[in-house]
C-alpha cells in the first residue's frame, strides 16, 4: 500500500490554501486558557482573516495568513503559550472527554492530558509520528472512544483505565498514574511497525498483529462501548454546584471579537470534537450574565438549533478543490427551516468528495457536483 507524505499542517508548517496559508494550533485536551484565547484572537486579526476555526479533532486553525506573515504568526502563537517546539508541534494530538471532572464520568482525566503531552514531547523519537496520529482520554462515557483514536485511555473506575489500541485491542486495566507512560509506549511500538503509515488503521493485517502482540494487547474480554454524545449545548450543572455553558457558532467559525468576549470571562474554554465551546466553573449569576452577553454576539446556547447538527467544509472560494460555495448554500438552507422545529439529523455539506471536516457519527452528506449543483449522497 502506497501512503502519501504527511502534509498535516501545524503552526510552523502551514498549508497553502486558496485564501492563503492555514495554520493549525494543537490544543491538547481541547482546553485553552483565557489569556491564550485572547492572544490568538489578536493574532488572527493581525495576521489571518480574523476568524478562529474549530476543527473536528478538537484543535483550532487560522486561515488567510500571508506567506510573509507565517513566521510572525508562529511567534505570536508561541508567545501565547500554544506552541513551543517545532519538532513536536504536530504530534500533540490529545482529546479528553469534555465534561470530565465536571459533569459525570468515572474519573477526572484532565490532568493526564498534560502528563501525556509532557511524556510524549520529552521523547526525541516522537517527532517522527504523523501529525494525524491521535491520542484520546475517555472518562468512561464512551465519547472519546467513538472518535476512533489510535491510542485511547478509557477509565473503568476512579483509579484505573484500559488502553485501547486501534479501537479493537485492550491492555490492562492499569492504574491511572501509569496511563501516560503506557499510551506513549504504544505509540513507540507503532513506529516500530509503521513503515511510513500515519495511523494504526493504515497498517496491514500482519503489521497490526505484530503491534498487538508486542504490546500484549488482547481482543478478548469486554471492550468499552463507543457512544456519540448528545449536543453539549445549553446549561449544565457541574458536580461541584457550579455551572458549565455549552454553545456553538455556525460552521465552528469563531470571530476574533467573539473569541475576545469569551476570553474576557476569565476562565478556561474547552473546544470539543463536535465544534462546541464549553465555558465552565461559573456560578449561576455569572453564567446568566455570560448568556446575556454572548448570545447577541452569535453564540448559540439552544440545543435544538440546526447549527448543532449541520456543518460544512470550507468550500469555495477558500478551497481550490471545492466545486461550490457550500457554506452560503447551507446558510440559505438553515434560513428556510422551521425555527420552532427540533434540530435536523446530522448533515455535512461538502464541495468535493474528500469530505473534509466530516463528523465521525452517521450523517447525511450533501455533495457539490463538478458543475456546482448540490445533491444528497446517502
Instruction: Indicate the average pLDDT of the chain.
Output: 94
CATH number at residue 63: 3.90.480.10
The predicted structure's pLDDT at residue 223: 76
Predicted local confidence at residue 1, as pLDDT: 46
Examine residue 167 and say whether the peptide bond preceding it is cis (omega within 30 degrees of 0): no
* Cβ–Cβ under 8 Å, residues 65 and 48: yes
**Residue 7 domain-assigned?**
no
Based on the structure, what is the number of domains in the chain? 3
Show the cell assigned to 279.
Answer: 465555558
CA distance 188 to 193: 9
The span from the CA of 349 to the CA of 42, in Å, is 30
As a whole number of Å, the end-to-end CA separation of the chain is 28
Nearest Cα residue to 308 out of 280, 344, 269, 273: 344
Domain that holds residue 277: 15-84+233-303
All three cell numbers of 325, joined, read: 460555495
- Give the pairing type, strands 234-237 and 243-247: antiparallel
Residue 3 lies in a domain: no
- Residue 84 has a pLDDT of 82
pLDDT for 4: 56
Give the HSE-up count for residue 170: Cα atoms under 13 Å, Cβ half-sphere.
Answer: 16
- Whose cell is 476512533? That residue is 148
Q: What pLDDT is attached to residue 86?
A: 86
Other Cβ atoms within 10 Å of 142 Cβ, number = 16
- Are 278 and 320 members of one domain? no
Count the neighbouring beta carbons within 10 Å of the beta carbon of residue 149: 27
Q: Which of 196, 127, 194 is nearest to 166 (CA)?
A: 194
pTM of the model: 0.94
- Residues above pLDDT 70, as percent of the chain: 98
Phi, psi of 213 (to 5 degrees): -65, -45
Q: Using alpha carbons, select from 76, 65, 107, 81 the residue that is nearest to residue 28.
A: 81
Report the CATH number that the domain containing residue 328 is assigned in CATH.
3.30.413.10
pLDDT in tens, 304-318: 999 999 999 989 988
| Same-domain pairing of 135 and 196 | yes
Q: How confident is the model at residue 3, as a pLDDT?
A: 56
| Spans of the chain, pLDDT less than 50 | 1
Amino acid at each position: 500500500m502506497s501512503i502519501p507524505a504527511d502534509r498535516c499542517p501545524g503552526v510552523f508548517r502551514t498549508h497553502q490554501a486558496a485564501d492563503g496559508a492555514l495554520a493549525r494550533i494543537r490544543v491538547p485536551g481541547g482546553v485553552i486558557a483565557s489569556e491564550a484565547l485572547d492572544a490568538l484572537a489578536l493574532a488572527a486579526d493581525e495576521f489571518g482573516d480574523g476568524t478562529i476555526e474549530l476543527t473536528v479533532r478538537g484543535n483550532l486553525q487560522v486561515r488567510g495568513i500571508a506567506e510573509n506573515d507565517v513566521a510572525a504568526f508562529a511567534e505570536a502563537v508561541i508567545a501565547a503559550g500554544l506552541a513551543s517546539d517545532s519538532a513536536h508541534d504536530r504530534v500533540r494530538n490529545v482529546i479528553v472527554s469534555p465534561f470530565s471532572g465536571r459533569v459525570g464520568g468515572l474519573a477526572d482525566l484532565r490532568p493526564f492530558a498534560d502528563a501525556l503531552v509532557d511524556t510524549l514531547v520529552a521523547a526525541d523519537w516522537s517527532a517522527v509520528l504523523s501529525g494525524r496520529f491521535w491520542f484520546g482520554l475517555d472518562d468512561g462515557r464512551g465519547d472519546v472512544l467513538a472518535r476512533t483514536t489510535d491510542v485511547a485511555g478509557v477509565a473503568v473506575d476512579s483509579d484505573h483505565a484500559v488502553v485501547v489500541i486501534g479501537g479493537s485491542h485492550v491492555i490492562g486495566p492499569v492504574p491511572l498514574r501509569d496511563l501516560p507512560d503506557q499510551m506513549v509506549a504504544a505509540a513507540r511500538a507503532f513506529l516500530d511497525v509503521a513503515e511510513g503509515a500515519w495511523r494504526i488503521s493504515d497498517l496491514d493485517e500482519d503489521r497490526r498483529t505484530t503491534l498487538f502482540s508486542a504490546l500484549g494487547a488482547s481482543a478478548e474480554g469486554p471492550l468499552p462501548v463507543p457512544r456519540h454524545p448528545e449536543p453539549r449545548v445549553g446549561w449544565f450543572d457541574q458536580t461541584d454546584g457550579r455551572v458549565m455553558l455549552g454553545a456553538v457558532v455556525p460552521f465552528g467559525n469563531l470571530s476574533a471579537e467573539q473569541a475576545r468576549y469569551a476570553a474576557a470571562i476569565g476562565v478556561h474554554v474547552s473546544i470539543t470534537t463536535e465544534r462546541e465551546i464549553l465555558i465552565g466553573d461559573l456560578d449561576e449569576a455569572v453564567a446568566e450574565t455570560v448568556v446575556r452577553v454572548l448570545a447577541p454576539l452569535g453564540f448559540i446556547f439552544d440545543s435544538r438549533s440546526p447549527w448543532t447538527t449541520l456543518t460544512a467544509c470550507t468550500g469555495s472560494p477558500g478551497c481550490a478543490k471545492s466545486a461550490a460555495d457550500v457554506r452560503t448554500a447551507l446558510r440559505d438552507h438553515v434560513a428556510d427551516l422551521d425555527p420552532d422545529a427540533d434540530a435536523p439529523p446530522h448533515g455535512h455539506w461538502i464541495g468535493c468528495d474528500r469530505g473534509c471536516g466530516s463528523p465521525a457519527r452517521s450523517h447525511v452528506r450533501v455533495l457539490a457536483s463538478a458543475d456546482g449543483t448540490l445533491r444528497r449522497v446517502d
